[in-house]
């Protein structure tokens, strides 16, 4: 599996203007090796150049992982003295004759830590952005990947279903978040979660990227829960919004509008249309209702091994949806300093439409 | 608190060769703002220059966080279209007059994603490594920080104590890791854990950076558990090694040696001596026993808001230990393809010695 992924990458490198790519720990490295390397203060990078064995630079204490590689790699290990690390990077670049060449990078993943060592090893190389080629590799999920995502959705839904009866007025956002994480683990999520759940009530729910606080749930709050599970390196990312006791009529109204926008976004998801269509379909519902100014983000993002990846459901994105592309549909309305609503599902494009992996009820539900 | 931290940073910038620093989401940004920003595909950076209000560049949907800043900041927000983001970075650099100046960066934290936008905003600036100045800010923990770390140690110890009776032969590493995470949450860890626990048995324990697998615990295994909790943004990072049933005499022997090395490392930790002393004290015990070649990493790393931070307990590190410095002491012996041992504690330097925050028994304990 990883061999064919590597072959696919080297094939696309051959038709590109790049001589190689260099990867550091993250989803693309995991996708191509099925190994777990962590981002840490000791840099790890893998150089991939067509027609050559990949070359890895890593700390000596990680050497046992080299034997686990699914294909032959050449390894250059360094010891614990940082001032000596550049030597290993220089040897790696020389082994592949990369100095002066075009080495593609993944800007969202690579840190200046790795980059400055890579550059010390190949100072005359160019380092163009290879995000498109690398994201393209993981863009169309195969059946095994979709199955893993479906399972990650099921774990997440089962976990929230088990958590809902435990929600009580007076509970803090942090407490509820901790309970939900326990339920995610109990239902089979991998311990390394895709992200810490967002649990935000009342005014905090009007901040799309809130972190759980010590604020206690109060009657009249909207409660946004944005959570996900990890299974076999693939993740889910869902959101539902609840009413804590009885809520203001306007809050019930915006919940209904967002629910309609979510349905419209999902209905627009099909092969052959641009990503923009999904965004437009959801946004139109909210704009027509007069709340357009309060839907402050794009409608969705790709999902797979990463929480946010290609393709993005933005109004300017004319990228065409193809079978296997997986993404979120998550419109929202956020009334500043008051309350907010978001409803998020995970969708995969099929040959003739789309498969929504999540099916937990979207209607407003009273909790507490 | 954050104001005085900011003042401390600007004071050290004034005596440095830097005109400013630029930070992206991570521990230093959290330390200086007490706000949670996440690393994502939308870049967020904060510029700090002495004598000026800090300047933040962020996506529009994060604007609610600007009101939460503990001091005045000037914000430049961008929308959802990536090709327009550079404008916000340019305006930010202009507001502080930074083009052509020296802007310090944190290479371990900053990605090429942020860096390339920052550079587009100030193309003529230099970007020297400011890791020392920034790490120096967080190097000596104050009482509140040590208290939070002590609490994070207590949560971790209580969680493992509750998990030990559940360890059974036939359980997989992943199952045990999931159980331990649940106990960490139940005992009060923040949901955003410092790292996923390492639970590695038998041959996997010989890999210092193993990830939990589907391998089942077997009688005769050594079982390494490397785990930690997060409390109020501060973390703990501990390791204990267990015997699953009866183990080979050599494994019991290396456990005893590592225990002695750990004690020697802790005893060497005191103010006024170089970090190297801690490494040497632990390493000497292992070398004298003939296993020196199997202790493949430094003896410890700093700890605080980050899992690994300054100061590092390495043989070449002549940095002098000072009161408030906090770090791990974690010698190990790893017999390749056989079994491994590591014993890790968290230590804080005091005025006249060191305070070991962790006190869970270190003796080999039979589980299963």
- Nearest C-alpha in A relative to B333: A61
The distance of B107 to chain A (nearest Cα, Å) reads 4
Q: What is the mean pLDDT of residues B147-161?
A: 98
Query: A215-269, pLDDT tens digit by residue?
Result: 999 999 999 999 999 999 999 999 999 999 999 999 999 999 999 999 999 999 9
- Give the β-pairing of B103-104 and B20-23: parallel
The residue ranking higher by pLDDT, A1 or B288, is: B288
Contact B222, B241 (CB under 8 A): yes
Average pLDDT on A70-77 reads: 96
Q: Which residue of B has its CA nearest to A306?
A: B40
Could you give the angle at the alpha carbon of B211 between the alpha carbons of B244 and B289, nearest 5°? 55
* CB spacing of A65 vs B209 below 8 angstroms: yes
Q: A353-362 burial, b if ≥16 CB within 10 A, otherwise e?
A: ebeebbeeeb
This complex has an ipTM of: 0.88
Cα–Cα nearest to B169, from B202, B198, B206, B211: B202
Q: For residue B61, is pLDDT > 90?
A: no
Strands B222-227 and B74-78, sheet pairing: unpaired
The answer to whether A226 touches A197, Cβ cutoff 8 Å, is yes
Average pLDDT over residues B66-80: 94
Q: Which residues of B touch A115 (CB under 8 A)?
A: 107, 112
Q: With an 8 Å Cβ cutoff, are A178 and B197 in contact?
A: no
- Does A192 have pLDDT greater than 90? no
B217 falls in which pLDDT band (50, 70, 90)?
very high
Contacts of A206 in chain B (CB under 8 A): 64
Token pair in block for residue A69? 């590689």
Q: Which two tokens stand for residue B199?
A: 């639970």
In chain B, which residue's Cα lies nearest the Cα of A177?
A: B191
Query: Which among A60, A65, A189 has CB closest to B296?
Result: A60
- What pLDDT shows up at residue B64? 84
Of A38, A115, A185, Cβ closest to residue B112: A115
- pLDDT value of position A339: 98
Inter-chain CB pairs, A–B, below 8 Å = 121
Kindly report the nearest CA distance between residue A309 and chain B, in angstroms: 8
How far apart (Å, rounded) are the C-alpha atoms in residues A208 and A193? 19
Residue B349 to residues A260, B48, B273, B290, B306, Cα–Cα distance (Å)? 59, 30, 11, 30, 18
Task: Tell me whether domains A2-138 and A143-367 share a fold.
Answer: no
Give chain A's radius of gyration (CA, Å). 23
Pick from A243, A5, A240: which is nearest to A134 by CA? A5
Partner-chain residue, chosen from A107, A308, A316, that has the shortest CB–CB distance to B40 = A308
Mean of pLDDT values over A161-170 = 97
The closest CB to that of B111, out of A111, A190, A195, belongs to A111
| B191 with A209: Cβ contact below 8 A | no
Please give the residue of chain A at the shortest CA–CA distance from B317. Answer: A81
What pLDDT does A245 receive?
A: 96
What does CATH list as the number for B143-367?
Answer: 3.90.230.10
- The structure tokens listed for A191 are 């311990």
**Cβ <8 Å between A191 and B177:** yes
Q: What is the distance between the alpha carbons of residues A65 and A69, in angstroms, rounded to a whole number?
A: 7
**What is the pLDDT, as a whole number, of residue B2?**
87
Q: Do A178 and B191 touch (CB under 8 A)?
A: yes
Q: What is the H or E stretch that residue A266 is in?
A: helix A249-268
Task: Kindly report the nearest CA distance between residue A68 and chain B, in angstroms.
Answer: 12
Other residues' Cβ atoms within 10 Å of the Cβ of residue A289: 18
Cα–Cα distance, B120 to B90 (Å, whole number)? 7
Contacts (Cβ under 8 Å, ≥6 apart) of A44? A24, A25, A37, A56, A57, A58, A59, A62, A114
| pLDDT tens for each residue of B233-269 | 999 999 999 999 999 999 999 999 999 999 999 999 9
- Whether residue A38 has pLDDT greater than 90: no
From B129's Cα to the closest Cα of chain A, the distance in A is 9
**B191 pLDDT above the threshold of 90:** no
Contact across the interface for A116 and B110, Cβ inside 8 Å? no
To the nearest whole number, what is the mean pLDDT of chain A? Answer: 96
For residues A150-168, give the mean pLDDT: 98
- Residue A85's H or E segment, with its range, is helix A85-95
- The pLDDT value recorded for residue B312 is 96
Q: Which pLDDT tens digit goes with each residue over A293-314?
A: 999 999 999 999 988 999 999 9
Within 8 A of B316 by CB-CB distance, chain A residues are 80-81
Q: Helix, strand, coil shares of chain B as percentages rounded to 5?
A: 40, 20, 40
Mean pLDDT, chain B, as a whole number?
Answer: 96
Q: Is A65 exposed, middle or buried (0-12, 13-18, 19+ CB in 10 A)?
A: buried
Cα B172 to chain centroid distance, Å, stands at 27
β-bridge mates for residue A45, sequence order: A57
CA-wise closest residue to A43 among A124, A131, A132, A109: A109
Q: How far is A191 from chain B (nearest CA, A)?
A: 6
pLDDT at A118 exceeding the cut of 90: yes
Contact predicate A305/A233, CB 8 Å: yes
Give contacts of A181 with chain B, Cβ < 8 Å. Answer: 181, 185, 191
Stretch among A184-198, B70-84, B107-121, B352-366 having the lowest mean pLDDT: A184-198
Is B192 close to A196, i.e. CB distance below 8 A?
A: yes
Chosen for mutation from A127, A191, A299 (greatest number of chain B CBs closer than 10 Å) is A191
pLDDT band at residue B130, thresholds of 50, 70 and 90? very high
CA–CA min distance B126, chain A (Å): 14
State the average pLDDT over residues A30-51: 94
Report d(CA B28, CA B13) in Å as an integer: 15
Which range among A14-23, A188-197, B299-308, B329-338 shows the weakest confidence by mean pLDDT?
A: A188-197
Give me the architecture of the A2-138 domain, per CATH. Answer: 3-Layer(aba) Sandwich (3.40)
Which of B108, B116, B185 is nearest residue A113 as measured by Cβ atoms? B108
**Confidence at residue A221, expressed as pLDDT on a 0 to 100 scale:** 98
For residue A189, the model assigns a pLDDT of: 92
Average pLDDT over residues A191-197: 86
* Percentage of the residues of chain B whose pLDDT score is greater than 90: 91
Contacts of A189 in chain B (CB under 8 A): 178
Which of A2 and B74 is assigned the larger pLDDT?
A: B74
**Cβ contact, residue pair B80, A298, below 8 Å:** yes
Nearest beta carbon to residue A186 from set B60, B64, B182? B182
Domain parsing of chain B, residue ranges: 2-138, 143-367
Nearest chain A residue to B211 by CA: give it: A36
Nearest-angstrom CA–CA distance, A211 and A236: 18
Q: Half-sphere exposure (CA, 13 Å, Cβ side) for A47?
A: 37
Q: What's the pLDDT at A1?
A: 81
End-to-end CA distance of chain B: 47
Q: Mutating which of B85, B111, B206, B306 best tests the A interface, going by the most A Cβ atoms within 10 A?
A: B111
Are the CB atoms for B315 and B292 separated by under 8 Å? no
**pLDDT tens, position by position, A131-157:** 999 999 999 999 999 999 999 999 999
What number is the average pLDDT over the span B196-210?
A: 94
The residues with which B199 forms a beta bridge, in sequence order, are B225
């Amino acid at each position: 599996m990883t061999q064919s992924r590597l072959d696919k990458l080297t094939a696309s490198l051959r038709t590109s203007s790049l001589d190689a790519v260099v990867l550091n720990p993250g989803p693309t490295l995991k996708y191509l090796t099925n190994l777990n390397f962590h981002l840490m203060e000791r840099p790890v990078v893998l150089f991939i150049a067509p027609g050559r064995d990949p070359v890895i630079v890593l700390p000596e204490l990680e050497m046992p992982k080299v034997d686990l590689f699914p294909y032959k790699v050449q390894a250059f290990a360094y010891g614990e003295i940082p001032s000596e690390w550049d030597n290993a990077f220089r040897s790696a670049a020389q082994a592949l004759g990369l100095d002066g060449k075009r080495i593609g990078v993944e800007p969202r993943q690579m840190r200046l830590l790795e980059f400055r060592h890579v550059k010390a090893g190949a100072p005359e190389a160019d380092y163009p952005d290879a995000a498109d080629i690398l994201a393209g590799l993981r863009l169309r999920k195969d059946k095994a990947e979709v199955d893993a995502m479906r399972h990650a959705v099921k774990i997440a839904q089962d976990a929230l279903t088990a958590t809902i009866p435990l929600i009580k007025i007076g509970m803090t956002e942090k407490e509820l978040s901790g309970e939900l994480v326990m339920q995610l683990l109990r239902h089979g999520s991998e311990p390394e979660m895709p992200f810490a759940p967002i649990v935000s009530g009342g005014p905090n729910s009007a901040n799309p990227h809130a972190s759980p606080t010590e604020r206690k749930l109060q009657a009249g709050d909207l409660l946004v829960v944005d959570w996900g599970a990890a299974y076999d390196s693939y993740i889910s990312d869902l959101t539902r919004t609840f009413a804590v006791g009885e809520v203001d009529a306007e809050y019930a109204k915006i919940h209904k509008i967002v629910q309609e926008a979510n349905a419209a976004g999902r209905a627009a998801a099909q092969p052959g249309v641009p990503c923009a269509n999904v965004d437009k379909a959801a946004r139109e519902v909210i704009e027509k209702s007069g709340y357009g100014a309060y839907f402050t983000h794009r409608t969705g993002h790709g999902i797979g091994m990463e929480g946010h990846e290609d393709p993005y459901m933005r109004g300017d994105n004319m990228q065409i949806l193809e079978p296997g592309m997986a993404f979120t549909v998550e419109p929202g309305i956020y009334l500043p300093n008051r309350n907010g609503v978001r409803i998020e599902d995970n969708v995969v494009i099929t040959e003739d439409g789309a498969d929504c992996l999540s099916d937990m009820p979207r209607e407003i539900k009273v909790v507490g």
